Amino acid sequence: MNTLKQHLTPFSQFYIALARKISLLEPLALLAARIYVGWAFFASGLTKLRDWDSTLMLFEYEYQVPVLPFELAAYLGTAAEIILPILLMAGIASRFSALGLFFVNIVAVISLEDIAAAAFAEHVLWGTLLLQVVIFSGGRLALDRFIEKKLLIQK
């Protein structure tokens, strides 16, 4: 038994050291996820703003947003795609903005009658990255963390 422990000790020490180094990448990974997904949605919102007549036409005839009238869906969707990504990329209200974009992402997928496999895979990736931010927050490189530290210092 003692020899087994002696043989496993270097492996466990290696694993612990590796886990510490990998955990240093967590803030960068969360920042990259926030910027990647945020930019994708922000660019989509800008496209909608650039040609509002086409946006309204798409929401009326192409996108089948359940429950909402197409004009309201267009306004809400575009506003969400402009405001929430800015918050997400800056790390302000990270969980709230990620959750909001997660629902925008779901509505986008269910609103399209025919969605290409590559587009569907991209939406799945965005949803996964957004859930990661919802679960773990924006990370140490988010303004949320800075604000939280400032508030805790003042108390």
List the domain boundaries for the chain: 26-154
Q: What is the pLDDT of residues 82-132, one digit of tens each?
A: 999 999 999 999 999 999 999 999 999 998 878 888 999 999 999 999 999
Q: What is the pLDDT of residues 40-97, one digit of tens each?
A: 999 999 999 999 999 999 999 988 888 899 999 999 999 999 999 999 999 999 999 9
Burial class (CB in 10 A: 0-12, 13-18, 19+), 92: middle
Q: Which two tokens stand for residue 60?
A: 């009326």
Report phi then psi at 71, rounded to 5.
Answer: -65, -45
